[in-house]
Amino acid sequence: MRFLLRLASLIALAVAVIAGTIDSIQSVAASSVVITPMGDAWQDMSASSFEALQSTIAYYIHPRFYTIGFQWLMMQPAFAVFLVLSLILWMAGYKKPPVAGRFAA
């Protein structure tokens, strides 16, 4: 299980680096700071899955959660969302070193 969490963390970190690189390239080209929101990046990649998730959250969970939580999350920078996701997955898959040390019996 730890391996899968660490692998998912690595993938999320790679996506965060790619999103940050794209934002920095666009910023240099535009000569101003360009930060892509998570919602725009998701719609560019797969609009149908974005709309399906929107309708699922609004129908099954609560419409107020959609207006408060989901829209707030989709307005955050894409690289930051994936960085936080990567950190959470890494922390979930982290194994503490033994207290006695590496060479303890």
Residue 15 lies in a domain: yes
Per-residue pLDDT at 67: 79
Residue 103 lies in a domain: no
Indicate the burial class of 81 (C-beta count within 10 angstroms; 0-12, 13-18, 19 or more): buried
Number of domains the chain contains: 2
Residue 11 lies in a domain: yes
Residue 101 lies in a domain: no
Helices 38-45 and 78-92: angle between axes, nearest 10 degrees: 90
Domain that includes residue 9, residue range: 1-34+78-94
Residue 99 lies in a domain: no
Residue 89 lies in a domain: yes
Per-residue pLDDT at 105: 61
Residue 7 lies in a domain: yes
Per-residue pLDDT at 103: 72
Q: What is the pLDDT of residues 5-28, one digit of tens each?
A: 999 999 999 999 999 999 999 999
- Judgement on whether residues 60 and 86 belong to the same structural domain of the protein: no
Residue 88 lies in a domain: yes
